[in-house]
């Protein structure tokens, strides 16, 4: 069996892993580089070269750094994702259609095949891939157990333990995955050891306190992060505030509700607002009497300005529930729209991790170590999705299991096991 880390061994995002056994070949993720990357992105020809002889591509989840190049894959190559993740992607690209030509993306999405948690997919009788549901800052994220040539490996994708469904993580590893020969594991938080990792439930609690004090709250967050939206929605339920959404956000929440059976994830205190309705007298009377929290995206800045004008009897607050790099990172990381949006709320921002309104989508270092100890990878650990300078070598588990990583920042890290 040959494992090639085409990308991701020395960077966060742009993940591409290849697994080859006899005449069968699969890829796990085909991610685009993150916007702040200096590396040249793969062209359509590069993607065709890399994927045309693949028997399948499996995506761990719908974040662009894992799925971003999917529309460049030749039509003959089957691509797999979960049904719910496919629907969220469809929803996003259907909305983007208003701003450009996304027919290639939508065509490719139509052709996607589905996998389900705990149901193995067999590739030519040579490679067996079994997905397991994990907690991440996305709806429907999976890790993959891969069996080939009598060996077992686990590819974790992005995962964490501190989300709403994270409690099940160690149980899944212990009872469904078991000991493995090789572990391909993410290491995002290795480079952010100082960052406070708080539980989603604490974000909910902090939001409840805020909503008790202030009537109008906007929350800048990812429109597809089910846990974060759940935290805000639950806080609205507890304080009897309206959970305000635009049409796009509502359609994403409808997908979540369709697939999640648990009551926690049912968005039933939802009030949908259209741009034209911001100052409608009936709606205005209701919202200014009951108050609201509205999850927003940076692109909605004009709507937010209209809302601030219409609801000006009390100052509105902004929950900043995203990564801080978007407003105080490097020139390439900073998003000018986000900076402008923050400027609308001078001295009225509840700021991310610092104020307890954001938490990482990735496992903290303790969880990474514990996962390694449960899985006991006999042949070693292959770290991916981590910064070039952060390493598993500095952790205690490096004494217990071989860490397979190259000190040079080379692409195409190849590991052959027999
Ligand atoms: Zn990622
Ligand atoms: Zn992700």
How many angstroms separate the alpha carbon of residue 58 from the centre of ligand 2? Answer: 14
What is the structure's pLDDT at 93? Answer: 97
Q: What is the pLDDT of residues 325-342, one digit of tens each?
A: 999 999 989 999 999 999
Q: Residues with Cβ < 8 Å from 402, sequence gap 6 or more?
A: 379, 380, 381
Q: Residues with Cβ < 8 Å from 118, sequence gap 6 or more?
A: 130, 131, 132, 176
What is the structure's pLDDT at 364? Answer: 95
Q: What is the arithmetic mean of pLDDT over 317-331? A: 94
How many angstroms separate the alpha carbon of residue 271 from the centre of ligand 1? Answer: 31
According to the CATH classification, is domain 2-193+360-416 in 3.60.15.10? yes
How many angstroms separate the alpha carbon of residue 360 from the centre of ligand 1? Answer: 11
Q: What is the pLDDT of residues 136-162, one digit of tens each?
A: 999 999 999 999 999 999 999 999 999
How many angstroms separate the alpha carbon of residue 300 from the centre of ligand 2? Answer: 23
Using an 8 Å Cβ cutoff, are 383 and 3 in contact?
no
Ligand nearest to the CA of residue 29, numbered in listed order: 1
Q: Domain ranges for the chain, please list them.
A: 2-193+360-416, 200-355
Ligand nearest to the CA of residue 360, numbered in listed order: 2
Q: What is the pLDDT of residues 18-32, one digit of tens each?
A: 999 989 999 999 999
Q: Whole-number mean pLDDT of the chain?
A: 93
How many angstroms separate the alpha carbon of residue 158 from the centre of ligand 2? Answer: 5
Residue 417 vs residue 361, higher pLDDT: 361
Ligand nearest to the CA of residue 136, numbered in listed order: 2
How many angstroms separate the alpha carbon of residue 136 from the centre of ligand 2? Answer: 7
Residue 217 vs residue 266, higher pLDDT: 217
How many angstroms separate the alpha carbon of residue 106 from the centre of ligand 1? Answer: 22
In sequence order, the β-bridge partners of residue 145 are 130, 154
How many angstroms separate the alpha carbon of residue 322 from the centre of ligand 1? Answer: 14
| Percentage of the chain modeled with pLDDT above 90 | 83
Ligand nearest to the CA of residue 189, numbered in listed order: 1
How many angstroms separate the alpha carbon of residue 63 from the centre of ligand 2? Answer: 5
Q: In what order do the strands lie in the sheet with 317-320?
A: 270-272, 242-245, 292-296, 216-220, 317-320, 349-351
Residues with CB under 5 A from ligand 2 (ion): 63, 158
How many angstroms separate the alpha carbon of residue 4 from the centre of ligand 2? Answer: 20
Query: Distance (Å, rounded) from C-alpha 119 to C-alpha 132?
Result: 9
Ligand nearest to the CA of residue 140, numbered in listed order: 2
Query: Distance (Å, rounded) from C-alpha 343 to C-alpha 93?
Result: 29
Q: What value does the CA radius of gyration of the chain take, rounded to a whole number of Å?
A: 22
Ligand nearest to the CA of residue 188, numbered in listed order: 1
Q: What is the pLDDT of residues 262-291, one digit of tens each?
A: 999 989 888 888 776 777 889 999 999 999
> Which CATH topology does 200-355 take?
Rossmann fold (3.40.50)
Q: What is the dihedral of CA 375, 381, 386, 390, to 10 degrees?
A: 110
- Please classify residue 418 by burial: count the beta carbons closer than 10 Å to its beta carbon, then call 0-12 exposed, 13-18 middle and 19+ buried: exposed
Q: Residue 248 has which token pair?
A: 């796009």
Ligand nearest to the CA of residue 224, numbered in listed order: 2
Ligand nearest to the CA of residue 386, numbered in listed order: 1
What is the structure's pLDDT at 408? Answer: 52
How many angstroms separate the alpha carbon of residue 80 from the centre of ligand 1? Answer: 17
Query: Distance (Å, rounded) from C-alpha 113 to C-alpha 77?
Result: 10
Ligand nearest to the CA of residue 160, numbered in listed order: 2
How many angstroms separate the alpha carbon of residue 281 from the centre of ligand 1? Answer: 44
Ligand nearest to the CA of residue 14, numbered in listed order: 1
How many angstroms separate the alpha carbon of residue 135 from the centre of ligand 2? Answer: 10
What is the structure's pLDDT at 236? Answer: 97
- Please classify residue 238 by burial: count the beta carbons closer than 10 Å to its beta carbon, then call 0-12 exposed, 13-18 middle and 19+ buried: middle
Q: Residue 82 has which token pair?
A: 């979960």
What is the structure's pLDDT at 406? Answer: 66
Q: Residue 247 has which token pair?
A: 């049409």
């Amino acid at each position: 069996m040959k494992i090639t880390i085409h990308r991701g061994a020395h960077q966060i995002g742009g993940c591409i892993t290849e697994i080859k056994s006899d005449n069968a070949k699969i890829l796990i993720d085909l991610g685009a580089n993150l916007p702040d990357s200096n590396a040249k992105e793969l062209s359509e020809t590069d993607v065709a070269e890399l994927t045309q002889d693949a028997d399948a591509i499996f995506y761990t989840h719908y974040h662009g750094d894992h799925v971003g190049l999917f529309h460049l894959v030749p039509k003959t190559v089957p691509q797999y994702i979960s049904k719910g993740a496919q629907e969220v992607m469809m929803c996003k690209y259907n909305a983007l259609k208003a701003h450009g030509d996304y027919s290639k993306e939508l065509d490719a999405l139509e052709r996607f095949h589905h996998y389900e948690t705990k149901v193995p997919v067999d590739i030519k009788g040579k490679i067996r891939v079994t997905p397991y549901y994990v907690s991440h800052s996305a709806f429907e994220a999976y890790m993959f157990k891969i069996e080939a040539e009598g060996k077992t490996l686990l590819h974790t994708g992005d995962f964490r333990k501190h989300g709403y469904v994270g409690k099940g993580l160690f149980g899944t590893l212990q009872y469904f995955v078991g000991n493995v020969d090789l572990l391909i594991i993410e290491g995002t938080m290795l480079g952010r050891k100082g960052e406070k990792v708080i539980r989603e439930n604490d974000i909910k609690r902090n939001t409840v306190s805020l909503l008790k004090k202030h009537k109008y709250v906007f929350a800048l967050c990812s429109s597809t992060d089910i846990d974060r939206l759940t935290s805000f929605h639950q806080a609205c339920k507890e304080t009897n505030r309206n959970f305000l959404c635009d049409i796009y956000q509502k359609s994403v929440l409808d997908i979540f509700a369709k697939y999640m059976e648990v009551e926690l994830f049912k968005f039933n205190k939802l009030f949908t607002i259209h741009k034209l309705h911001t100052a409608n007298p009936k709606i205005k009377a209701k919202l200014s009497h009951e108050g609201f929290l509205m999850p927003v995206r940076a692109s909605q800045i004009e709507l937010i300005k209209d809302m601030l004008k219409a609801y000006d009897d009390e100052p509105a607050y902004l929950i900043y529930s995203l990564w801080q790099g978007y407003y105080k990172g490097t020139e390439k990381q900073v998003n000018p729209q986000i900076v402008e949006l923050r400027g609308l709320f001078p001295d009225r921002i509840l700021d991310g991790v610092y104020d307890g309104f954001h938490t990482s989508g990735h496992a903290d270092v303790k969880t990474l170590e514990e996962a390694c100890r449960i899985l006991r990878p006999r042949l070693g650990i292959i770290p991916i999705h981590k910064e070039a300078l952060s390493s598993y070598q500095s952790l205690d588990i490096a004494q217990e299991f071989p860490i397979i990583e190259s000190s040079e920042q080379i692409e195409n890290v190849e590991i052959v096991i027999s």
